[in-house]
Structure 1
Amino acid sequence: MAGEGWWFFTCVVFGVTGVIATIWFLWGGFRDLKYLFDDLRNAVRDERDDGTVIDHHNLADEPTTEK
């Protein structure tokens, strides 16, 4: 292959690699997004957890006194 032909070969290799990587990342991203929404749909919610922190402890982690 002549020296002038290498630019075309290099562009094709990088182009094909870029297309494959883009499809791979999109596929994985949409799959993970589906897993995220499934996890959010099935998550068990704790109504006490409002993000309050007292003395370096999450308030929702404290035991309840209700019976």
Structure 2
Amino acid sequence: MLFGKRLEVNFSKHPNITQGAETHEYVNSNLNRFNRNAAKNYRYCCSPTKMIHLSTLSQDITEEDIVSLV
């Protein structure tokens, strides 16, 4: 239960992640959004909603394409 609601968790079918040539390590970078200063971002936390944010979609994508992905 999370925020009084049932949470469903599914595991990936991929046991390992193969890093590509464009992979970067952000452990000690100030670009890492999950660093020790994460407490300052606590004010942006909220309970889950039924909204999904999509970005970088192709110009020719249709509503049916999006529905099939989610």
> In which range does the TM-score fall when normalised by the shorter chain?
under 0.3
* Bigger relative CO (Cα 8 Å, ≥ 6 apart): 2
TM-score (norm. length: structure 2)? 0.20
Greater radius of gyration (CA)? 1
By percentage of residues, which structure has more helix? 1
Q: TM-score, normalised on structure 1?
A: 0.20
